[in-house]
Amino acid sequence: MGKPTLILASQSPRRRDILALALLPFDTLSVETDEIIDSTLSVEENVTRIAWQKASAAAEIVKNRNTIIIAADTVVAKGKSILGKPAGFDDAFAMLKSLQNRTHRVYTGFVLLSNSKSHTECISTTVEFDALSDHEIQRYLLSQKPYDKAGSYGIQDPLMACHIKRIDGCYYNVMGLPLSALCKALKAFV
């Protein structure tokens, strides 16, 4: 039957770059799903549910027995508030203003799905920002335009990297794919 084909069900260039670090061949497949947060569910349940929806949508397209589909969803949580992707500049500015000089958590739910088995997991990482002035937030938003990123920032982005005071957990999780946990889970599949 041969080695299974890995398929990353994501259009995120960051997830693609992170998975490439594992030096495993993979294909990408962009799928459209509703990424709706259900307020009756926990953060962990929301991100794993959305990742499952992405993996299932990809499986419907692929319909190949010898594939492993990888899907993920990431959100930023400040206390009980979930911060997804911003609606625009003002929303992004408000998010970053609320995250400064405090800690928040980044959650990524990921799913591995093959014809014979599945794996679902949620990883969280704590991040603490230094204080950012309004000018620094505006400069970051205008130069990096992080409107496709949960919480309105990329930890790896120029300027933002200067304001990360502390991180506790997986760096790649904050970027959108917890690589070490994913690779560990993949071992059970191949």
> What are the catalytic residues?
73
40 CB-near residues (< 8 Å, 6+ apart): none
Residue 166: alpha-carbon gap to chain centroid:
19
Which residues, including other chains, have CB under 8 Å from residue 135's CB and lie 6 or more apart?
none
Residues 184 and 53: their CA atoms lie apart, in Å, by 22
Instruction: Give per-residue burial for 133-161: e unless 16+ CB within 10 Å, then b.
Output: eeebbeebbeebebeebbbbbbbebebbe
How far apart are alpha carbons 146 and 158 in whole angstroms?
11
